[in-house]
Chain A
Amino acid sequence: MPIGLSGKALGFTVAGEADIESDRLGAVGAASDILLSAAGVAKSYSGVPALFDGRIKLRRGSVHALCGGNGAGKSTFLNILVGLQQADAGTVLCKGRAVHYASPAEAFADGVAIITQELSPVLDMTVAENVHLGREPRRASWFVDRQRMISATRSLFERLRMDVDPKARMRSLSVGQIQLVEIAKAIDREGEILIMDEPTSAIGERETDILFEAIRSLQKHGVGIIYVSHRIGDIFSIADSYTVFRDGRFVETGAVANIDRPRLISLIVGRSLSDHEKRPVTPRGEVMLAAKGFCRGHAFRDINIDVARGEIVGLYGLLGSGRSEFVNALYGSEPKDSGEVFVEGRRVDIRTPADALRCGMAIVTEDRKETGLVLTSSVRTNISIATIRRFSRFGAIDGRREVAAVDRQIAHFAIKASSREVPVMRLSGGNQQKVVFARCVETAPRILICDEPTRGIDEGAKRDVYAFLASFAAAGNAVLLISSEVMEILANADRIIVFRRGRIAGEVRASTATQQALVHLAG
């Protein structure tokens, strides 16, 4: 428990306008402990609101967990706090002074630092060089003082109880170690306010322990930390206060000591799904796809999954839990150490995506821009690329047959594009995703893998995707649906398999499962 906090401050409070007002007026006493406070922060992206009312009150020496599901507005809020984006409305006070950071550099100068999910280490430089990037210790004002740089890094690591060689190349470290070094780097810059966005998503148990040790030492030095994590377990082991956002709005704040796990989860997930929103229960048909004994290093281990005809099986898990890595290995786009695949009881050998396509599998990948679409090519090319051989004779494309098939898919998915010849990069996110689906369907698959199929698309397009999945399964096909949105997976799957740290943590029936149960299993 941090020192210097009054009993009232630790008690259950809901941050109100009045409190914020008094901070601005420079109230003395408990308020001087407040490093950062924000209220009424709002932000819209081209008319679509992402955040209505973001609030937080961070005290000196506190680890404050910011909780919320996907789309709760956490990322937008953090981006505003560190100057990556500008708020449309609301106030942010840093140490009692109203601030509007125009860039992360300004926020940094004020002692506000962020460790984001996507790290940017220079892999071919040494650990010490990375830690001191941009503020290298110098000798004779021109030369880098390498000795001092290494010894400073070594003492920093000793202080944080990290066992990493400052002279090692960044490239030779594990992902977890890289993450720790990046965290140490941010700590070394001696910010007063440190924001950590999902710091444990890519690291193992051991590194998590070291990280928590480092956080506690920072806490003792009076640093305020905003800690964002989907891992409920993490929150209870490291944070002392919490704030929950849901659907872009502040919900509640208080001390972690005064809340229990089930209540925090129910605050995060909000309403529960009513029965009529779930998929009707259907008898399970014969097994269509079976994956047995899938392993790859630390990414995933002992994964056994089967999907029946007409069934939608959900794969739920946090970022880095191994679910996406598993399906990519299943589809042949990533390697595996071991694992067998059976399609309709027959063993098949899948080494490349081409093999998977031949076996009647198709995948909607996690990131349509990175792996899904050829953005510079036309809607037509993107829809027909996987099946173009069907429309050709001796390698020459029969344009009329191709266009007929493409137009059929455009109509089927109601893809809005001014013409089939426009590059897909000019389409909206929802329509781009429909193009990915159209390409998959054109291959006439019997097994469809969808990895986060509704990420970043609007509500209408989402409903179209759900309707398509239901009808696709109803036609006797099998679906693997991966999602990190609890509501989505509960509403659209028959069974849900939960991944945690590369293993299957459990399996639930969607008809009887609760959101709490899923979040609990995953975290």
Chain B
Amino acid sequence: MKASALKEIRLLPPLAISRLGSAAEPVNNYNLVIPDDQPLGYRDIVPAPTLVVDQASGKITKREALPVTFKDEQGRIRPVAPFLELWGSTGGDEWVHLTESDVKGARIRWRVRVANIKVFRRTGDPRDRVEADSDWFHDHSRHELRGNAHNFYAGKYIPLGHIQFIDPTRGFPEIRARFTPAGGYVYGSNPFVQNADGTYAVDPAFGGYIQHDLNIRDVVYDPAKGKWLGYDEIYPPNQPGPPDATIPGQIFAGQANAKIDGSWVSRGYLDDECDGTVEVELTIGTKTLSSFARIGAGPPAFAPDSFPIRTVYDELEQALLGPEVGPDDYTIEELQAETEEIIRRAFETIRLMNTTIMNGNAFQGKVDVASTMVRQDRGDAERAFEPIMAPTIVDNLADRTLHQNIFATLRSGAPPWFMSVLRRFDEIGDLTDLGRRKMPGLMRNADGRYLCLTRRQREKIRLASQRLVSPQEERRAK
């Protein structure tokens, strides 16, 4: 292919989600495989070919399956650092991953702009936006993404990760860049621990000395410029919350000021998560083609062999394909497999839950011992504090077994029968006994109310339920 023949370019994948980690080496590539002999078991983490990058030169030195560990020898978490590949088309539907020879004579340049606007979301002060811009570059060195904000101390910034244009070689001639996220650190506004009323906490080990804040990596935010340290998000009792508050509110590191009802005072912390775009431009003579992809940094996966019941993938699939499923979109076998996967993820999720506590059961005679939907129902809607399920039936192991049995039943080819207990998207605020007991159970969605499956997930199960003729019968009849 000649560069001059290119009509369009794309940066793929269009959305790449990295995971924070402070180890020097990212996690090696792997696949999750359900073991044949243990259909209910944990997914095996099977090493897959990994591209190894020499950070100094920006060159890929090898591609091979390597052992998978999630922490390095010092116990630091390995980040997940995605590659973004440059693909091109000369017209039509055929797309290829462009190589160095494909773009010979062309000029390629990159730019990354990311931001962390969590504090701005609370304070509304644009000077609290933490933003980084790599500016255009075309070399192969690592470019640090320095997150700056007007309300930071002069010269201070939050490292939000790196971007590197991989130097193509004869062995690995493809055009790609790699985003490596930040280390997952907390940054602050004060080197010392400040109480909600503005006084300082005394160090318990050295009475009389004030206590250093050991959570933070660096003090970057200037409390004289911005109001984040000591920012109080007040939810007055028995009154509506602030109109622009998140649901649930007060979800930042803070402490209550005992003198003000419903107060939640910020400790002035910031983190190094971010999201934004990677842009690429390819110039051939006077023609410039461009594309971009979105990147984000999320927390590490602490249960990498499990999937949650609802993931970003499900959201994207619904956004892309819509909430409805047509009768010919999937075969019977595919619908059954999709349903099995959703139920597998349900018991994988339960494996990570303390269902007894999340149900609002008393613990050693004490009630309301954790942040649960029970507490939230009371806080949001003044519902009586009452466990969600009957307290006797929420043993974690038994619940897991029950869900595994549902999965096993589906394995037999029996169509799903539990549609009526699946929470619909418009039932997330139903606080009746029946409404609270629907599935998925005991969990909160990002909207602050009970988690439900995406409409598309639910539709798949519904269509899988409508099966009067088994695949075997269908085959025999044909």
A and B co-occur in one complex = no
**Which residues of A come within 8 Å of B, CB atoms?**
none
**Which residues of B come within 8 Å of A, CB atoms?**
none
